[in-house]
């Protein structure tokens, strides 16, 4: 079975492990990526990290960073030889999706769309019409969460649909320390875009409440970039947190396992907005795989991802978040128990092997072919 995948997300090296697992299941896989992808954190160049068993090819991209409008000049050349399945790792309402879907239909290939969209957003023309056209002409839809699946069913998609996360975690790479470090300052962590909806301001104010209650033996490491960084640094100073908070900037994906392993708690304090709510929170499963206790707000998919392996607080509630952090900083047994539960949950639901296998099942359903593991 020959599969062509278009995925700007796969510029991230650790995400490429899923591609190796798909290929290992006997799929003749070609993955088209841009040279880089640009968002609020800056320009993320392609990391060639896990590239065995399949072809990772680079295609120029136009309007890089324009989520709805980017597209790939010359994309048609990757349709020769003709693929059996074209997997479009893009939302149904953007130009790159329409481009790839049109080329796939011209080639007579089956198509799969992937979506994280968990809000029933309404778009102006031409995006609303393009979205409906994409839903009407794709052969299979993969939704990252049940919330995303409900959105597309509500918008009229009646075809086959599977709920599968876009990526899982390599549990051999993301694993706990063999011998946990004791007798050190407890370390809290945040990983993500530094934008208002990620809730870092709430986290900083919760940290200030910890100090007010006399809890000083902790530090907070913030990894990520974005337009809010300078304002958050100023806020940390104004709250008296300068000695407790470090802004580390963006780290290469290959350095993230080591970062998680030095954490005691990972926090995802996301805030729902009219046009966004947390779609999954991948950093949560990465930290959970490393045996790190997690705290998340109740925005979007976070409670479903964490399950019973972490603490959930009402989004935007500074006092509730501060209380949860205080519990975890002071209760070693609770923190250890949640860390163990988190890793078990990832092993049961969120590994790259599982995600790859379920994705290949979708390909088989479309083509009627069986594939032989490589």
On the question of pLDDT at 275 being above 90, the answer is no
On the question of pLDDT at 41 being above 90, the answer is no
Cis peptide before 368 (omega within 30 of 0): no
Summarize pLDDT for 28-39 with one digit per residue, the tens.
Answer: 999 999 999 998
The CATH number assigned to the domain with range 186-349 reads 3.40.50.2000
Residues 259, 251: contact at Cβ < 8 Å? yes
Residues 350, 315: contact at Cβ < 8 Å? no
Summarize pLDDT for 337-351 with one digit per residue, the tens.
Answer: 999 999 999 999 999
On the question of pLDDT at 182 being above 70, the answer is no
Q: What is the 3-state secondary structure (H, E, C) of 139-170?
A: CEEEECCHHHHHHHHHCCCCCCEEECCCCCEC
Contacts of 71 (CB under 8 A, 6+ apart): 61, 62, 63, 95, 96, 99
Domain 2-168+351-367 indexed as CATH 3.40.50.2000:
yes
pLDDT at residue 103 in the model: 98
pLDDT at residue 122 in the model: 86
Q: Which whole-number Å values give the CA distances from 228 to 55, 189, 209, 211, 363, in the listed order?
A: 37, 17, 21, 23, 41
Q: Which whole-number Å values give the CA distances from 130 to 92, 109, 183, 284, 309, in the listed order?
A: 8, 20, 57, 33, 40
In the predicted model, what is the mean pLDDT of residues 269-294? 94
On the question of pLDDT at 114 being above 60, the answer is yes
Q: What is the DSSP letter of 192?
A: S
On the question of pLDDT at 363 being above 60, the answer is yes
User: Bridge-partner residues for 296, per DSSP?
Assistant: 268, 312
User: Bridge-partner residues for 28, per DSSP?
Assistant: 2
| Range scoring the smallest mean pLDDT among 118-122, 156-160, 364-368 | 118-122
Question: Residue 373: which pLDDT band, with cuts at 50, 70 and 90?
Answer: low
Q: Reduced to 3 states, what is the DSSP secondary structure of residue 39? A: strand
User: Bridge-partner residues for 3, per DSSP?
Assistant: 29, 85
Question: Residue 371: which pLDDT band, with cuts at 50, 70 and 90?
Answer: low
Q: In the numeric block, which tokens belong to residue 209?
A: 């409440």
Residues 257, 174: contact at Cβ < 8 Å? yes
Provide the whole-model pTM: 0.89
Q: In the numeric block, which tokens belong to residue 66?
A: 């324009």
Strands, DSSP E only, in the chain? 2-6, 28-33, 36-39, 42-45, 55-58, 85-88, 110-115, 140-143, 161-163, 186-191, 218-223, 245-249, 265-268, 293-297, 310-313
On the question of pLDDT at 237 being above 60, the answer is yes
Question: Residue 322: which pLDDT band, with cuts at 50, 70 and 90?
Answer: very high
Cis peptide before 248 (omega within 30 of 0): no
Mean pLDDT of the chain: 94
Residues counted in the chain: 374
Summarize pLDDT for 134-146 with one digit per residue, the tens.
Answer: 999 999 999 999 9
Tokens 């007579």: give the residue. Answer: 108
Summarize pLDDT for 130-173 with one digit per residue, the tens.
Answer: 999 999 999 999 999 999 999 999 999 999 999 999 999 999 99
Q: Do domains 2-168+351-367 and 186-349 have the same CATH topology?
A: yes
On the question of pLDDT at 372 being above 70, the answer is no
Phi-psi region of 192 (alpha: psi -120 to 50; beta: other; left: phi over 0): left
Q: Which whole-number Å values give the CA distances from 38 to 45, 70, 108, 191, 325, in the listed order?
A: 9, 11, 32, 17, 33
Number of other residues whose CB lies within 10 A of the CB of residue 133: 17
Give the DSSP H/E element, type plus range, for residue 371.
Answer: none
Q: What residues does each domain of the chain span?
A: 2-168+351-367, 186-349
pLDDT at residue 327 in the model: 97
In the predicted model, what is the mean pLDDT of residues 120-127? 88
């Amino acid at each position: 079975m020959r599969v062509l995948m278009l995925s700007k997300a796969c510029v991230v090296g650790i995400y490429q492990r899923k591609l190796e697992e798909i290929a290992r299941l006997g799929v003749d896989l070609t993955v088209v990526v841009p040279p880089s992808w640009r968002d609020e954190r800056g320009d993320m160049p392609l990391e060639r990290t896990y590239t065995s068993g399949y072809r990772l090819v680079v295609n120029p991209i136009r309007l890089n960073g324009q989520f709805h409008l980017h597209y790939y000049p010359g994309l048609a050349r990757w349709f020769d030889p003709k693929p059996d399945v074209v997997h479009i790792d893009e939302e149904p309402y953007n130009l790159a999706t329409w481009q790839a879907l049109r080329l796939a239909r011209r080639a007579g290939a089956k198509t799969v769309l992937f979506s994280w969209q968990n809000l029933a957003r309404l778009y102006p023309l031409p995006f609303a019409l393009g979205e409906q056209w994409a839903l009407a002409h794709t052969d299979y839809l993969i939704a990252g969460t049940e919330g995303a699946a409900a959105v597309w069913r509500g918008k009229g998609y009646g075809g086959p649909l599977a709920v599968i996360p876009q990526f899982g975690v390599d549990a051999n790479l993301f694993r706990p320390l063999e011998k946990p470090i004791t007798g050190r300052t407890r370390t809290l962590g945040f990983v993500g875009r530094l934008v208002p909806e990620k809730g870092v301001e709430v986290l900083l104010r919760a940290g200030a409440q910890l100090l007010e209650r006399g809890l000083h033996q902790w530090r907070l490491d913030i990894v990520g970039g974005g337009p809010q960084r300078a304002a958050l640094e100023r806020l940390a100073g104004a709250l008296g947190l300068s000695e407790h908070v470090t802004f580390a900037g963006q780290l290469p994906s290959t350095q993230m396992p080591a970062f998680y392993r030095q954490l005691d708690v990972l926090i995802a304090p996301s805030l729902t907005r009219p046009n966004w709510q947390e779609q999954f929170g991948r950093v949560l499963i990465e930290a959970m795989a490393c045996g790190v206790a997690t705290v998340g707000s109740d925005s979007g998919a976070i409670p479903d991802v964490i399950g019973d392996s972490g603490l959930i607080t009402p989004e935007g509630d500074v006092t509730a978040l501060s209380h949860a952090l205080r519990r975890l900083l002071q209760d070693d047994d609770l923190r250890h128990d949640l860390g163990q539960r988190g890793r078990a949950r990832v092993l049961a639901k969120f590994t790259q092997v599982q995600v790859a296998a379920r994705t290949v099942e979708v390909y088989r359903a479309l083509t009627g072919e069986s594939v032989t593991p490589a």
